[in-house]
Amino acid sequence: MLIAATIAAAVLQPAALPVQGLHVLSLPKANVDEFVRFVETDLKREGVNLIVLEVDYNFDFKSRPEMAEPGGLNHEDARKIAEACKRAGIRLIPQMGMLGHQSWAKDTGKLLTVYPHFDETPGKYPNNEGIYCRSYCPRHPEVHKVLFPLIDEMCDAFQADAFHAGMDEAFILGDADCARCKDAPKATLFAEEVTRIQEHLKGKKREMWMWGDRFLDAKITGLGEWEASTNETAPSLRMISKEVVICDWHYENAPPTAAWFAGEGFRVVSSPWRKPHVALSQLEQILAARTGGAKSIADRLLGTLHTTWVDGATFMKAYRGEETNDAAKETVATFKALMKAVRGEK
């Protein structure tokens, strides 16, 4: 009953959700034109008004040629996608994962492959065994001279006024063998890196978005080490600018953490994945607070950013019912249920 009531209230306020977003991984070059059509037809019809496109290092960079991925998206691909989003009334935000997620399984990502000395743990964990993902050292004196030109080029190419820095699941931080970081509190290290990126973006008149898991204390919230911090980074929330937008992801249930972030002074979006009841519970909390809560809190609860964790081509295929991968089918079903509820449809 509460879901129906709050959704009905939202229908009376067409601008109730400033963010009705979709996060999707990048896509093969061969599917760019198809994605352009998908944006202008299906996503526009669904009511999506913001896309976070996670490109990471899969881009043909010109500013740092050693970081170029010739098989990735290029400037022309970015222009096509950006212009399609503008025609559809959709804000486009590119993402490149900062700090953590610099490897996956045995594969080390482009940054630490080209610049292995940027690694927080150089020479440790051969073949990435025994760790989740590598991190770069946030205090390395040269790392931002490489990263910031990449961020600027990507934002320029996608004609973006914001950048999503990722920064989720950063388990390796302040390693005992890192001479630069070993004696610093992990919250300080994390806050320093958020602040460096945010101030750089602000200087370019761009907004910073990021995942919120490292700001949640696992002991206090009872959440696991993936969606909350067990390595003492949570206090960093009170050390960073409140201009940062927090993407509060939870996939198995819907803890009331979005309202907590808003109460701390941050704008926030709730991010589900592949369970419709979780997505609808998150939406219920957002709408209830926006329609019945204090205005200062309500205005900071921006809406939802649905995550897919498949590339754009796979998501489009699953959306059309042509994909057999269960995870892809589940995230599409959740996305459709969420957007239907956002539109106030039964």
pLDDT of amino acid 292: 83
pTM: 0.94
β-strand pairing of 267-271 with 301-311: parallel
pLDDT at residue 343 greater than cutoff 70: yes
Q: What is the rounded average pLDDT for all residues in the chain?
A: 94
Q: How confident is the model at residue 9 (pLDDT cuts 50, 70, 90)?
A: very low
Task: Specify the length of the chain in residues.
Answer: 346
Q: How many structural domains does the chain have?
A: 1
CA pair distance 67, 49, nearest whole angstrom: 31
pLDDT of amino acid 10: 40
Q: Which two tokens stand for residue 304?
A: 């939802």
Least confident of 141-150, 251-260, 286-295: 286-295
pLDDT at residue 165 greater than cutoff 60: yes
Residue-range definition of the domain harbouring residue 142: 2-342
DSSP state at residue 163:
E
pLDDT of amino acid 231: 94
pLDDT at residue 16 greater than cutoff 90: no
Range 232-239 average pLDDT: 98
pLDDT one-digit tens code per residue, 278-295: 999 999 999 999 988 788
Least confident of 122-126, 174-178, 294-298: 294-298
Alpha-carbon torsion angle 108, 270, 162, 99, nearest 10: -30
Are 138 and 189 within 8 A, CB to CB? Answer: yes
Range 17-46 average pLDDT: 97
H or E, element range at 262: helix 257-263
pLDDT of amino acid 293: 77
| CATH label of the domain that carries residue 254 | 3.20.20.80
H or E, element range at 335: helix 326-342
pLDDT of amino acid 191: 98
